[in-house]
Structure 1
């Protein structure tokens, strides 16, 4: 019916990628009710709803013999956005092979719906020269993409060549147009922001604010985003602190690496030169992260496939953490990833040299291979795993050496301190059958001195008695141990275990040909350079289900359900640390045992250090 106004809009849904969202919102609904061009009676030659809004849609026109084409659609997006039109090259009008069509008889016209006057309201579809269009295309001149600068477009497809189809009953795709919210606008509105530094603009004067992914709060972030940078230039003497309010990107790969969509933190090392410091993906954004440099970038990228809600991250310029002997603060910032992307241990990566300054290597004298690790917690005390030294405690301390300030064990790097042990104190409740209370304190025969001027040696923090880490929290393990996945029981890491009771439980859980195979004293595939990996804390109930009857209240699990990243032989006694809100690290776990290394559904098991804070303090005080 000519001149009929569409008075009722029927909400529909639009499926794009992996998200489903309503194509109507109140803003566009009200606009269309007030400004929508009238819709003529259009037969089935015109494809797609006459009124479309949201983030994406398609319109089309089919030519049948003996019929003209008169199609009109209203397309709208949120005010402030633009519309991108993409023309199908397989259609008659979109084809570039037949140039010279009569533009007075066939065309595509795009009008600015927000400026259309009453002539469109009063007249029907495809009235020549009625209103000046924003763009008009004929066969041979139709582009592949046209960017409409506005939020309401009126699209008309017209043809008055009734005999163009030669065969009776045959139809042709005359035109097909896909429209979507312009990615160019999203990116230009979001990316490239710079805060602080020189200049008179409002961003230069900002000392705090927020950054978001393109389209955040309106839609999922776009595909194929490359180097969407946010640059922060803190005033002299200040650094940048980030905190995540919302963070949902595509998850990492099966090994936890941020290989698809990712947010990367980069710090400036010289003019124009930045290096990557940390990677974030999945649901793990930067939490209370304080940089060590005053000039940094956040860089967002996305790949061509899956996209998600994106991120909203607050930031502020703040004084740096004081360079004191406070525990858990490495002067050389580690290269962190919240999703496993660092190079093992098994499935991890090489650590930034000296960025885990509490890490200790324990070797047999005369050997060049680490058999266990440890953590510096006081000037002359190291916390390690009891099973590393059991049962030859009376003489074992004389055959070992402790190395601090190490990164590459194969070369002399300068800051190394090699010392012996005065005594090894194993927790009195340690059980070789259950591996419960798997802790040992080692008193060094040298005191680590001059820590104020030595960035390669620092203490780790011992958490309080009520220290708790939420399941899913990403923490970090380090060591020089085995780097290839293994099967069979790994009493982690030492061949002492009386496994009669302990392995009987595990054998009922996993059917392996060698259920009692122990981890060797020296790893078969060690690394000379310290390695690290990011692992999530596993819910206690799930941990107990994975190892029925073997988990006590003094243990917890960390790792990936699919395996691939884990501690292994040679890593026993080493640290599992988690970041605190102030950016420092707590020693939440000591690497204890596992069933194989990096095997699916068999994560690493760690001593819950918070349970032993009182024992640690009392033992050190009793052995001055």
Structure 2
């Protein structure tokens, strides 16, 4: 899997968008090195294996090419960079309940509203909620961490994004595990990391990561009761699964109260 990463952080909106496009082109052509600290949106899991049907019932695929997690029966938690501004939005289709996106048993629901994190400008605060037009039944939601207690250890990531840098989106859900990377180490790779808003995970040797198309999907682990809990949201990084460039995820616990308040305002 390899997650989608947003453009370089402090370059200004248009420069960041241009850098994201250039980085994507480079990744596809494969002839030039990527920008050292580019924030590129992620699309798939690199080094992953296929998930079993029903293994992660909260996983959501979004029609704009991002992932998400079922926060409640009517709300999907995803990345801010995956959506437009807050307001009515009926253009997004969520696919749920399957690992095979072409399965005849897939559930598809349209959106009717998007809530993007207040103040989001491409630097941190990379979370959003999508309200579905009708509730989804029979699928478990993914609780989010409300403290930093689970910001360590080994995490699971999953998505339908590219299985290699510059690769195509996947039909089947892939999963992988990645270890926590301390801020002090991650900052060596990403000097513009925002500690307290972002959390890093990955192997120093590379090889396993989220990638383009995984953006917005959850990074999760087992809690004290052995239940899944969401710790991060796939946000950005430099390429996919490159050595010494871990994935960067939105630190969910930092925004847990704001997410809960937004969810309440959306009726769910």
Who is 1:447 aligned against?
135
- For residue 352 of structure 1, the aligned residue among 46, 52, 57 is 52
With over 3 angstroms needed to count, the CA separation of the structure-2 counterparts of 1:466 and 1:447, relative to structure 1, is: same
* SS state at 1:556 partner: strand
Per-residue CA deviation, residues 307-358 of structure 1 (Å, 9 max, x unaligned), is xxxxxxxxxxxxxxxxxxxxxxxxxxxxxxxxxxxxx611111111120010
Asked if 2 retains the 8 angstrom alpha-carbon contact of 1:374 and 1:574, the reply is yes
Which of 239, 249, 253 is residue 596 of structure 1 equivalent to? 239
Is residue 469 of structure 1 aligned with residue 151 of structure 2?
yes
Q: Is the contact between residue 150 and residue 223 of structure 2 (CA under 8 Å) also seen in structure 1?
A: no
- State the distance in 1 between where 2:144 and 2:82 align: 21
Match in the other structure for 2:121? 431
Match of 2:141 among 459, 467, 479: 459
1:408 aligns with 2:100: yes
Partner of 1:480: 160
Partner residue, 1:376: 70
Q: Separation in 2 of the partners of 1:431 and 1:594?
A: 17
Which of these two proteins has the greater Rg computed from alpha carbons? 1
> Is the 8 Å Cα contact of residues 87 and 115 (structure 2) preserved in structure 1?
no
Render the CA deviation track for 1:420-460: whole Å, top value 9, x for unaligned: 1110000002122x2x10000111111112x3xxxxx2111
Q: Is the 8 A contact 2:209 2:240 kept in 1?
A: yes
Q: 2:224 aligns to what?
A: 581
The Cα offsets for residues 171-202 of structure 1, whole Å up to 9 and x where unpaired, read as xxxxxxxxxxxxxxxxxxxxxxxxxxxxxxxx
Looking at structure 2, the residues matched to 407 and 568 of structure 1 have their Cα atoms a distance apart, in angstroms, of 18
Q: Which of 204, 229, 235 in structure 2 is aligned with 1:561?
A: 204
Distance 1:460 1:403, change over 3 A: same
CA distance in 2 between counterparts of 1:617 and 1:394 reads: 18
In the alignment, what sits opposite 1:418?
108
- Equivalent residue, structure 1, for 2:22: none
SS at match of 1:463: coil
Match of 2:17 in 1: none
Paired residue for 2:91?
A: 399
Per-residue deviation, residues 125-146 of structure 1 (Å, max 9, x unmatched): xxxxxxxxxxxxxxxxxxxxxx
Task: Tell me the alpha carbon deviations over residues 51-105 of structure 1, each in whole angstroms, 9 at most, x when there is no partner.
Answer: xxxxxxxxxxxxxxxxxxxxxxxxxxxxxxxxxxxxxxxxxxxxxxxxxxxxxxx
Kept in 2: contact 1:379–1:448 (CA 8 A): yes
Deviation at residue 377 of structure 1 after TM alignment: 1.2
Which whole-Å deviations, capped at 9, do the CAs of 1:517-559 have from their partners, x for residues lacking one? xxxxxxx412100000000011121111220123342001101
Structure 1 distance, partners of 2:266, 2:101, is: 31
RMSD between aligned alpha carbons? 1.6
Q: 1:12 maps to what in 2?
A: none
Alignment of 1:3-152 (within 5 A): none
SS at match of 2:253: helix
Larger RCO, structure (CA 8 Å, separation 6 or more): 2
Higher strand share: 1
Residues 448/477 of structure 1: CA separation in 2 closer, same or farther (3 Å cut): same
Which secondary structure state, in structure 2, belongs to the residue aligned with residue 418 of structure 1?
strand
**Partner in structure 1 of residue 8 of structure 2:** none
Question: How far does residue 604 in structure 1 lie from its aligned partner after superposition?
Answer: 0.5
Per the normalisation by structure 1, the TM-score is 0.35
The offset of 1:394, in angstroms, is 5.2
CA distance in 1, matches of 2:77, 2:129: 5
Number of equivalent positions: 224
Higher helix share: 2
In the other structure, the counterpart of 1:536 is: 179
CA contact (8 A) 2:205 2:242 kept: yes
Equivalent positions of 1:13-412 (< 5 A) are 345-364=45-64, 371-390=65-84, 397-412=89-104
CA offsets 1:289-317 (integer angstroms, 9 cap, x no match): xxxxxxxxxxxxxxxxxxxxxxxxxxxxx
Cα distance in structure 1, aligned partners of 2:82 and 2:198: 17
Contact 1:420 1:445 (8 Å CA) reproduced: yes
Q: Structure 2: how far apart are the matches of 1:442 and 1:375? A: 10
